[in-house]
Structure 1
Amino acid sequence: MSKSNNATFRRPDGSRPIDDDRIVTDLEERIQQLEAEEAWQKNDRNGITLFKTTGITVVLSTLREGASITDNTAAGIMTVQVLDGRVEARVGNNNHKAGKGEMLFIHREEPHTIQVLEHARLLITLTGDTGGDNV
């Protein structure tokens, strides 16, 4: 099975696969792409879906210091891998700080907020019903 995201005015470089037997992604190349895009110049964050299929979605996000993801819940289990920078996550009544090389694991439907303490690059994985069949 092969699925692709088509080129858009924001990402005109052509389609790219997001579901196939094998997908290899250069994270540094994708980070450079994200931080060169107009969305990054105008906003405090930018992101790109790297992989999406039934039951799992993987997103690469770059966020500026001070950015926050507030009052969020995910339908499935979520992991947040900090590739660079530093974040603070509030999950339930607990605060957790994470830096480069650390991961956060958040259960489904668990309310959480993520505050960026230092310019961060995150690899986020969502499990469960992520809409993979509707790409």
Structure 2
Amino acid sequence: MSTRPHPESERPLHGPLQSFDLEQEVARLRAEKAWRDGKRNAITLRKGEGMNVVLLVMKAGDRLEEHAAPGPFSLSVREGRVRFATGEETVEAGPGVLLTCDTGVRHTVEALDDAVCLLTVAG
């Protein structure tokens, strides 16, 4: 998963106020070669000042292997469905569901349908 600013954008990764049209950003991600030829694509919308925000699109069947975030995080499912699993619990989440985890919780994420998620990591 890339955490780059969009290649056609010179926008800063942080600032006193940022605004994003998520539908437009999702359309842009889905138009890129990384999405067409692969299973996922992502863009970092904000990075720094203690908060990172990543927009992630995943194709059905894609899986983020077990990993842990460097800080507490939230995963908001905007479209599709995902299976989110920790060592102790598994949750299937769809649009409108917000998942949160403490720092260091090892987890996997699997797209059950084509999915759009907004990930926010504090720390």
Which TM-score applies when normalising by structure 2?
Answer: 0.92
Structure 2: which amino acid aligns with 1:25? F
Partner of 1:50: 45
Equivalent runs, 1:70-81 vs 2, <5 Å: 70-81=65-76
Higher radius of gyration, 1 or 2: 1
Partner of 2:17: 22
Structure 2: which amino acid aligns with 1:61? L
Unaligned runs of 5+ in 2: none
**CA RMSD of superposed structures (Å):** 1.4
Distance 1:85 1:78, change over 3 A: same
The sequence identity of aligned pairs, in percent, is 32
- Ranges of 4+ aligned residues in structure 1 off by more than 2 Å: none
User: Which of 106, 113, 118 is residue 123 of structure 1 equivalent to?
Assistant: 118
**Distance in 1 separating the partners of 2:72 and 2:96:** 19
Q: What displacement does 1:14 show? A: 3.5
Partner of 1:91: 86
More strand per residue:
1
Which TM-score applies when normalising by structure 1?
Answer: 0.84
Q: What displacement does 1:6 show? A: 6.8
* Number of equivalent positions: 120
**Distance in 1 separating the partners of 2:9 and 2:61:** 32
**Distance in 1 separating the partners of 2:31 and 2:74:** 26
